[in-house]
Structure formats: C-alpha cells, structure tokens
Amino acid sequence: MSDNRLGAETSPYLLQHKDNPVHWWPWGPEAFAEAQRTGKPVLLSVGYAACHWCHVMAHESFEDTEVAALMNALFVNIKVDREERPDVDQIYMGALHQLGEQGGWPLTMFLDDKAAPFWGGTYFPKTARYGRPGFMDVLRQVAQVYGETPDKIAHNRDAILSRLAEAAKPADRVTLALPDLDRAAQQISGLFDRTHGGLRGAPKFPQSGLLELLWRAGDRTGNERLKAVAAFTLNRMCEGGIYDHLGGGFSRYSVDEMWLVPHFEKMLYDNAQLLELLALAYAHTGDELFLARARETVGWLEREMLTPEGAFAASLDADSEGHEGKFYVWTKAEIAAVLGAEDAAFFGPFYDVTDAGNWEDSIILNRTGVGDVSMVEEARLAPLKAKLLAARAKRVRPGLDDKALADWNGLMIAALARGGALLEEPGWVALGARAFEAVVRVMVQDGRLGHSYRAGRLLLPGLASDLAAMARAGIALHEATGDPAPLLQAKAFLEELESHYADPATGAYFLTADDADALVLRPLSSLDEALPNYNAVAADALVRLSALLGDDSLRERADRVIGGLSGAAAQNPLAHSSLLNALDTRLRLAEIVAVGARREDFAQAALRVPFLNRVLVRAAQGDELPEGSLARARAETAPAEGAAFVCVAERCSLPVTDPALLAVTLAEMAV
C-alpha cells in the first residue's frame, strides 16, 4: 500500500490529495492505532472540495516535499472531508472555538493518540507572514511540546474536553411563546443593512434562516416592514455578483457588504434555502425578478448538479485553473468578442461592464447599481446572456464535488416540492421526486439511511441531519403530489431518528447514531450553521407529520426537542432562527383538509397558499382521516362533491365549498 492512503477513497476532496507526498490516512481506527504504535501526535486537516483556502494550503504545504517530509516525520496525518464527516468537523471546530479562535476551513487540529484535541488553528502559510506563524515552525514546535512536556499536552487536552462537555450541557428550559418570537424578529431586523440588505458589515452570508424568521414574523403580526427587510435582502442578492447572472445559482457568500464579490463556490444547501425564499417572495410581491432567479437556479440545478443516479451533487468549486473565480469573470474585450460591438454596448451598462473592471482587473457581472429593467430590455438581454453562457461553457470548468449528501438533497427536494407547488411549476416537483427516489434507492441499506454516496460507496450510518431533512422532503413531496409513498418514507426516517439518535438528557437528538463509530464526544447542537440546525428541521417535520397522520405522539416529540433547546434559543436568538421557526410552525400550523370528489381542486388551492404554516391532508371521505385528526368529525358530514376544512389550534372552520375562498378562510383562522 502507498504511504498516502487516500487513493481508495471516493470523496472528491480526499482524492484531490491522493498524490500529495504527505502520508495521509483517512479518518478511522487504523490511523489512531498507528499513532499509538509510533508515539506520534496526530495532525488532523479538515476541508472540503470547493474550499479556496484549502486549495491554497494544499498547494503551499501539502504538495511541497519539504513540508510533507516534516509532517511525515513528526505526525500521523489524517485528512477529512467535512461534508462527508460533519460529525468529526463539528467536534474539532468546537475545540478550536474553545481555544479562542474564530474558526474556518481548512481546519488544522493537533490530537493525541486517543483523538483528544490539544491545539489547533485554520490556514497556516508555509512560512510566517501577515501575522500568521509559518506551518513548518508550527509543526516543529507542536511536536517538540508533545514529546518533551506531556503535562502541558494533558492540561490543554483536559481543559478543552472539559469546556466542550460544559458547552454541550443544555441551558435551563424556558417557555417561549409568540410574543417572544415577535421580539426576536424586531431585534434581528434592527441588525440588517438598510442600504445593501443582509446583516450589516462584511462578509455577507445569505442567512436564509433569519430571512425566514422575518418573513414568518411579518405573516404573524401583519407588519409588512419585516417582510420588506427580507425581500430587499433577496433583491440585493439577486442583482449582486453573488448571483451567477449567466448560469443561475448563488455563491456561498460575498466578501464585501454590497453582495458584489462572491466567494465563487456554489453549494447545494444555499440554493435550496434561497429557492424557498424566492418562491415565497414572488408569491407575495409578484416581483418577476424573484420568479426569474428561481427558474434560473432550477435550470442550473438540472444542467450542472445532477448525479448519474438522479440525486443532486454537493457543490461546485470556487477555483479553476488554480485561480478563484476564473471561470466566471470577464474582461470588456472578451464580452465584445462574443457579442459584437453593438450588442456589447447595449449589454455593458446593465452588468457593470467597464474598461477597468470591478474586481482584480476583471468584471464580475452584476446589476447592483441598476434600477428597474423593463420587460423589453430583459427580452433583448436574454439571448445575449445565452451567448455568453455558451462561450463560458468552453472554459476549463471548476471542479464538481459529485457526491450525494442525504441532508443536502433533502433540503433541495423539499424546496423544489414546496416552491414548485406554490408557483405551479410541476417540473420542479417532478425533479424533486426523482431525486427523492434516487436517494432512497441508493442510500437506504437494510432500512438505514446513509449520509454520503459516491461511486457505489455508501457511508453508513447516516446523521440526524440526513433523517430530518429527508423527512422534510418526503412530507413536502406528499403534499405536492398526494403520493403516499414519500409520506411513509418520511415516517420511517423519523422513527429511525427516534430509535438511534434521541438524547434522554436534553430531549433533543444527537448528530450521530448510537451504533456509529465512537468519537471523543457525541456531538449534539442546537445552533444554525450554513444549514438549518437538524434538531429544528426534525421538530418542524414532526409537527407536520403529526397533523398528516393524526398522531399526537409525534407532536409530543417535537415539543420535547423544542423544550429541551429553548433555553439556548432564548439566550441567543440570532444563532437559533431555525428552532424559532420550528416553534412558529408548532404554534401556528394550519391543517387544511380536502375531502370528497373535488378534493384535488381544494388541494391545488391549498398548495397555492404559502407553505411555511400549512399542511395539506387529502381524503376521499371523512372516515379515511386518522382517528386523531381534528377535522374527521366535520369531514364525515361534508357534501359528497367535496369541501375543505381549515383547522388551527384545536378548532376547525365550517366547510369551505369554493376553492377560491380557501385562502380567505385560512386568514380568518390564523393565529
């Protein structure tokens, strides 16, 4: 076997490092056995395929024979794909935070031979510069301290583990109610940039959970200003350079406060969350910009992100040909060469095309400084963008991380089902249904859902995030189509979550299964990161499934999760938007029941109601509804031709016999 053991892996990120002169090990007991055999400390390097600074450190250090020789002599070196092993990443990123560091990727941590962390950092240059110590100096000093002063190592290790254990303890429970959510929304809206949208300052991230929190608060209170803050932020992202104006899709974040200069990687999970928000914003405002961006983003998804199995790939790299953003940027001369002088002169003012450029002598296409664009102008711009997209397709493409992650797929499938039903885009729903089928077909083994799949290899068992997100997806598909199969699969996922992930101490869920490989601690989190927190996604799914099945025990599980994490959410609402959104679902969910011969007419009307706080139940007749359903008694007396009932907070409406009146009834019943 080669001294670099990554060649047998399937993760695109690990395979990027298979030819390094570093003697990399994948994460596993064999690597720690080697550390115990040799007495060397472990160097853990965590990154992901689309990470620009991971590429920089790889080029500077991991591809350098001098640095690699030092790493090999002094350490057992482990490389981890954080997307494949978010459980490992979460533990050691938490350890870095306990050292007072801000965190980020690449994550560079030093561990003892039992996997306990004792020191670390993020990116280190090969030699010291910009106030950062040189990586080679760090390697020598860490190895020396490890070998000569084991008491210092033990002290650091014990202190970090103690702090991690303390941080994992749940805050005291509090009772949160709708006024608490209203206050949180008001406070958070005050942190938003009224000039550019998003949270004030730079860099700027989409923060989709916060935008949803503001949107829900606007629905709840009737305060349109809160929705306007969210819609304005979406508008600025849709017109900024963070959006790919030729190919569709949003980048991970903007390095500036204007949404102009993106970090060019495109992640599946960002686009899933933004697609839902774009659908909500268009349904509410009628602004064609939101519909156009949603359609273009789905177009990108179909064109560039499908795996051979029919699921969705994880991400597109920021870099191509060794340079960040090279695939996406232009010069004025390049645009003129593709479009011709006359069309280039028309195109330029709309997309910030200048001689000097707007980023490193290049042009990031954007409409940040452009006002309203007429339909006539949009119609003329569309074929010009298509020409530029075709020309761009001939360039060296950024790397595609084509592994399928169950949790990221679940978020996108739910977005396609919800957004497609709301905006009457059946192709989106069908695309989501195909992906759901693919995930279930290739990622469920012996009744257990896996986390990552690529090249025939499935990483099992899955994480709580996988089960929660795929349950959300199954519920959304069932509502959009009426197909019972995704609903039954969602129920199975949530039963697996309860069986293998529940934490008796908090009432919430651990990230890892009870039969997964042991780590230095079992991670459990309530915090939102780039993805909505998995406990929040699970709670929301449990509430919806409870209504669909008439099973109060599922709602009680959701109450247990929300209650167990309520103290943390009360202390830090900004980092718990998803949990607060799940609480809003719990307190305000409207159950729309469509029964009788015309039930599909009522179902379609229900699907045109925004999806945040409604769940749709179909039944041929009332006695088909679950015994525990609020609407069963009323539905049994519904006229044969059909009707709908709206049930909210233990009360149901009179029968609605005209689908056009369903939205009015829902508004009257709303909490």
Predicted confidence (pLDDT) per residue in 108-164, tens digit: 999 999 999 999 999 999 998 767 889 999 999 999 999 999 999 999 999 988 988
pLDDT at position 172 is 82
Across residues 456-460, what is the average pLDDT? 96
* Segment among 443-447, 450-454, 517-521, 640-644 with least mean pLDDT: 640-644
pLDDT at position 629 is 67
* Segment among 160-174, 382-396, 456-470, 546-560 with least mean pLDDT: 160-174
pLDDT at position 249 is 98
The pairing of beta strand 319-320 with beta strand 590-595? unpaired
Q: Is the pLDDT of residue 632 over 60?
A: yes
Share of the chain above pLDDT 70, in %: 99
Q: What is the DSSP letter of 393?
A: T
Burial of residue 278, with CB atoms counted within 10 A of its CB: 0-12 exposed, 13-18 middle, 19 or more buried? buried
pLDDT at position 628 is 62
pLDDT at position 626 is 75
The residue among 370 and 628 whose pLDDT is bigger is 370
Across residues 23-52, what is the average pLDDT? 95
pLDDT at position 566 is 95
- Confidence tier at 634 by pLDDT (50, 70, 90): confident
Predicted confidence (pLDDT) per residue in 648-667, tens digit: 987 888 889 999 999 999 98
pLDDT at position 621 is 82
Rounded Cα–Cα distance for residues 136 and 461 (Å) = 37
Q: Is the pLDDT of residue 544 over 70?
A: yes
* Orientation angle between helical segments 178-189 and 224-239, nearest 10 degrees: 50
pLDDT at position 147 is 93
CATH of the domain spanning 178-319+401-588, picked from 1.50.10.10, 2.60.40.420, 3.20.20.20, 1.10.760.10: 1.50.10.10
* Segment among 152-156, 302-306, 440-444, 512-516 with least mean pLDDT: 152-156
pLDDT at position 640 is 80
Q: DSSP for 94-157?
A: HHHHHTT----SSEEEEE-TTS-EEEEES---SS-BTTBPPHHHHHHHHHHHHHH-HHHHHHHH
pLDDT at position 215 is 98
pTM exceeds 0.85, yes or no: yes
Rounded Cα–Cα distance for residues 206 and 242 (Å) = 10
Predicted confidence (pLDDT) per residue in 317-347, tens digit: 998 888 999 999 999 999 999 999 999 999 9
The residue among 443 and 645 whose pLDDT is bigger is 443
pLDDT at position 630 is 66
The structure tokens listed for 285 are 């405002």
pLDDT at position 623 is 76
- Within 240-267, where are the H helices? none
Return the CA Rg of the chain.
26
Across residues 505-510, what is the average pLDDT? 95
The structure tokens listed for 272 are 């899933």
The structure tokens listed for 77 are 């070196």
Predicted confidence (pLDDT) per residue in 389-399, tens digit: 999 999 999 99
Instruction: Give me the architecture of the 5-168 domain, per CATH.
Output: 3-Layer(aba) Sandwich (3.40)
pLDDT at position 170 is 75
Across residues 439-460, what is the average pLDDT? 97
